[in-house]
Amino acid sequence: MNREQAWHTLTEHVEAPGLRRHMVAVELAMRSYAELLGQDPDSWGLAGLLHDFDWEIHPTLEDHPAKGVPILRERGCAPEVLQAILAHNTEGTGVERQHAMDYALLACDEVTGLIIAGALVRPSKDIREMKLKSIKKRWKERAFAGGVDRDHVEEVTADFSRECFDGQLELWEHVGNVLAAMQAGAAELELDGRLAKG
């Protein structure tokens, strides 16, 4: 499965613009980390792009992504990508994280939600203007982007740091890396100011 086929699969199953934006954000973060770690950006990117593709058809943690993965397998998605997608909800699938890609996906997943929310409340709606310090401030406001479980983000970032960075990747360095990847893809995320003009 290539990126074009993955995008077709995503748009076939996901209508909500916010969910599409989230998956592209995770794709951008995953590609960036793959390059940093000397891994394959294409397969890491596909894991990010497709990890929630079935949420609208299987909107429970018991079914997602376990019931969606057979669709991806049938369409030729690589086993290591399927493994990462299944391992981002171990509680529902029983599949544990094993590889660097698995740890990266879970570490990049929720934190993108906080960054997107921060960009959308800016008058400009331009993620390129965001600074790490504004995300730190929002982090402490638990009501802001309340769906983002801060404790979980800290835990999975620590796991990712341990498994892939010898424990040297700090939370805010990680958030900064994800922010930079998303800023580089501002146009793909439609967080380049266009939403403020609409």
Q: Which two tokens stand for residue 43?
A: 């397969």
Predicted pLDDT of residue 65: 93
CB 50 within 8 A of CB 21: no
The DSSP annotation for the chain comes to: --HHHHHHHHHHH---HHHHHHHHHHHHHHHHHHHHTT--HHHHHHHHHHTTTTTTTS-STTTTTTTTHHHHHHTT--HHHHHHHHHTTHHHH-PPP-SHHHHHHHHHHHHHHHHHHHHHTSTT-BGGG--HHHHHHHHH-TTTTTTS-HHHHHHHHHHHHHHHSTT---HHHHHHHHHHHHHHTHHHHT-BSHHHH-
Compute the distance between CA of residue 53 and CA of residue 11 in angstroms, rounded to an integer.
8
Residue 50's Cβ-side half-sphere holds a number of Cα atoms within 13 Å equal to 36
Q: Compute CA distances 11 → 23, 24, 47, 90, whole Å.
A: 11, 12, 15, 25
Residue 45's Cβ-side half-sphere holds a number of Cα atoms within 13 Å equal to 18
For the chain, the domain total comes to: 1
Predicted pLDDT of residue 198: 63
Q: Which residues are within 8 A (CB) of 39 and not within 5 positions of it... i.e. 6 or more apart?
A: 33, 100, 101
Structural domain that includes position 123: 3-197
Output the tens digit of pLDDT for each of the chain's 198 residues.
Answer: 999 999 999 999 999 999 999 999 999 999 999 999 999 999 999 999 999 999 999 999 899 999 999 999 999 999 999 999 999 998 889 999 999 999 999 999 999 999 999 999 999 999 999 999 999 999 999 899 988 999 999 999 999 999 999 999 999 999 999 999 999 999 999 999 999 886
Q: What is the CATH number of the domain that holds 131?
A: 1.10.3210
Q: Is the peptide bond before 70 cis (omega within 30 degrees of 0)?
A: no
